[in-house]
């Protein structure tokens, strides 16, 4: 079965650079979430989209932005990268019209800022 | 204070042991509850949803107490392959769409 696809899997950037992470949800899933997981930490919710509109916002820095496109894929844009942004970034998706349902996670993008 | 609090780990148990994890959540509006499993450097994967009536899936039993805002996971007859971090996950309630994670409890099952 198709899963959530994230790209790239690994990314190395320098401080103050920008990065764009991409997420392709499971087909017919209309809700996408972004999470950040630092070393030894639990996943922290950043932002979510439902039907291409932002539906919820967590601890996303102002330097980050995200959107969901007409084909439901989502991109997380990160600017002025800092060393502390080094983390595993997960995208997850949920099925159509089902609030309060579990989320299915992609394999993540490992971002290293040097 | 985190919205989802879990037992501090790690839990080191021998094969065949029974182990229980506990979790409390602070948002009484939360309506969905899950246990996820995360292996080192991998994505979280759903282990099981948790229902008010309690539910069982093989060696795994989950319980929910809404009045106490408490969730538990019981693993019977532990296997080496059960070694992982177990994350208690609760939806955000008001918005409904996003999930809040506990810090996770690390389980190591030894031969």
Pairing of strands A19-24, A5-7: antiparallel
The pLDDT of residue A96 is 59
Residue A97 tokens, joined: 């019209």
- pLDDT tens digits along B22-71: 999 998 888 889 999 999 889 999 999 998 888 999 999 999 999 999 99
Chain B residue with the nearest C-alpha to that of A101 = B32
List, for chain A, all residue ranges whose pLDDT scores fall below the cut of 50: none
CB of A14 less than 8 A from some CB of B: no
Measured CA distances, B25 to A49, A114, B11 (Å)? 24, 37, 21
User: What pLDDT score was predicted for residue B67?
Assistant: 92
pLDDT digits (tens, 9 = 90+) for A32-56: 999 999 988 889 999 999 888 888 8
State how far residue B88 is from chain A, nearest Cα, in angstroms: 10
Interface mutation target, options B39, B43, B87, chain A, most CBs of A under 10 Å: B43
CB contact under 8 Å between B43 and A107, yes or no, is: yes
């Amino acid at each position: 079965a198709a899963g959530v696809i994230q790209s790239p899997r690994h990314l190395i950037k320098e401080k103050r650079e920008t990065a764009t992470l991409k997420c392709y949800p499971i087909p017919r899933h209309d809700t996408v979430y972004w999470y950040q997981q630092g070393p030894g930490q639990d996943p922290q919710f950043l932002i979510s989209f439902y039907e291409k509109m932002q539906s919820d916002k967590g601890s996303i820095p102002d330097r980050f932005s995200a959107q969901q496109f007409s084909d439901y894929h989502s991109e997380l844009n990160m600017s002025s990268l800092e060393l502390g942004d080094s983390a595993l970034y997960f995208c997850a998706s949920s099925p159509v019209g089902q609030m309060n349902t579990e989320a299915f996670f992609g394999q993540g993008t490992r971002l290293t800022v040097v | 204070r985190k919205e989802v609090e879990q037992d501090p780990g790690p839990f080191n148990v021998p094969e065949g042991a029974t182990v229980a994890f506990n979790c409390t959540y602070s948002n009484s509006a939360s309506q969905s509850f899950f246990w996820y499993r995360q292996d080192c450097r991998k994505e979280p994967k759903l282990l099981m949803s948790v229902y008010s009536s309690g539910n069982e899936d093989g060696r795994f039993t989950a319980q929910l107490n809404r009045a106490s805002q408490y969730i538990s996971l019981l693993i019977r007859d532990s296997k080496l392959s059960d070694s992982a971090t177990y994350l208690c996950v609760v939806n955000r309630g008001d918005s409904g769409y996003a999930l809040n994670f506990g810090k996770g409890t690390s389980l190591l099952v030894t031969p």
